Structure 1
Amino acid sequence: MNIHNSSKKKVQLKGFKVKDNTGYTYTFGSYAIGAGKTVKLRTGKGKNVSGTVHRNRGSYVWNNTGDKARLIKPNGKLQDSCSWGKSTKADKGAKNCH
């Protein structure tokens, strides 16, 4: 999952949450995303580096048949969301949300 900062200012994501329909939740630690930059949130295990953070889970989170990703502010309010249905051959298993 990619989170893009379309603003003209750096945004601190500490305390922001990413949640799916099942309730799997990832809470960002201290992580600043620069203006116009994107951070990739990976489900699996790995080392966090610039532009990529890991949930460190051993199993999948996102459902291919349909799911909804929610970006929730530290105050509990919804910042943004993206949902999808079953993948088609045309989208090659990827979903881009804007």
Structure 2
Amino acid sequence: MGRERKHPTGILNARRTWAEEKKHPAGIPLCPENMGKKEERRLDMERVYKTMRNIGALSIGVGIVVTVIGIAAGTISIINGAFLLKRKSEITF
């Protein structure tokens, strides 16, 4: 029989709203002085997860673009090689 922990969600939401309104010039929300270490760490972890999500999406996008460019370059190389082989009898030195 474990104890249930009650989280003061109203206080946390109010503090989160306060933190979202006050931001560092770099866009990072500032934590109020009376915020506890747990809440501050939770906000930090949320920022980390959001950053990781954005970087992951960006990485997938870059991977798709690089793949498409690679396929296009390979196709063009094959076509040019076939064209050169077809016309090799016309080359004179």
Scaled by the length of structure 2, the TM-score of the pair is 0.21
Determine which structure has greater relative contact order: mean sequence separation of CA pairs < 8 Å that are 6+ residues apart, divided by chain length.
1
Structure in which a larger fraction of residues adopt helix: 2
Structure in which a larger fraction of residues adopt strand: 1
Scaled by the length of structure 1, the TM-score of the pair is 0.20
Q: Which has the larger radius of gyration?
A: 2
